[in-house]
Amino acid sequence: MITLFVDASIRTGRTGGAGVVVRVDPPMVAKRITIPMQLALPGTLSSNHAELFACLSAARILESLRSIIPGMGQAVVALKTDSAAAVKAVISPSAVRTMQTREIAKNVRRAFDDLRERRVILGWSIQKIGRSSNPADACAAAARKTYGDAFACPQENPPRT
């Protein structure tokens, strides 16, 4: 089984980061493999959009790892995040109010369904987990610190009257 832990950390208007932890469990490999990854995100994203973009990035990361992980075509992938809103959006995009969030959620579904159709993976599911049990939380916070102001939004001074 392959488990993808996903989290995003945003400081609105400043900077953000996403963490993706790929965990491959036996019997696919002899010993558990854990691969932590950090991604930079712009601070202009909402927290929910950042979580969804992190899920989308997890699909792309998984695709790039298929040559490294043997037998991935027979694996069911569990996508786990601590964001209830992101889980709800991916499970039922039509229940989301904003069109922008709905489209991002549909893209997440399409990305994982595409991996399944191309037989990169056997299937996938998404689950909400507690923040304390999400190893990607530390990766996301570290990414936000590492990339610092790489995607910082310039602060506009209000005009003086």
Q: In what order do the strands lie in the sheet with 15-24?
A: 33-42, 15-24, 2-11, 76-81, 123-128
Q: Given a cut of 60, is residue 143 above it in pLDDT? A: yes
pLDDT digits (tens, 9 = 90+) for 5-26: 999 988 776 778 899 999 988 8
CB-based contacts of 116, cutoff 8 Å, min separation 6: 122, 123, 124
pLDDT digits (tens, 9 = 90+) for 97-130: 889 999 999 999 999 999 999 999 999 999 999 9
Q: Which two tokens stand for residue 87?
A: 């889980």
Q: Given a cut of 80, is residue 33 above it in pLDDT? A: yes
What does the H/E/C string look like for the chain? CEEEEEEEEEECCCEEEEEEEEEECCCCCCCCEEEEEEEEEECCCCHHHHHHHHHHHHHHHHHHCCCCCCCHHHCEEEEEECCHHHHHHHHCHHHCCCHHHHHHHHHHHHHHHHHHHCCCCCEEEEEECCHHHCCHHHHHHHHHHHHCCCCCCCCCCCCCC
**If you classify domain 2-147 with CATH, what class do you get?**
alpha beta
Q: How many residues are given for the chain?
A: 161
8 Å CB contact between 20 and 138: no
pLDDT digits (tens, 9 = 90+) for 152-161: 555 566 667 6
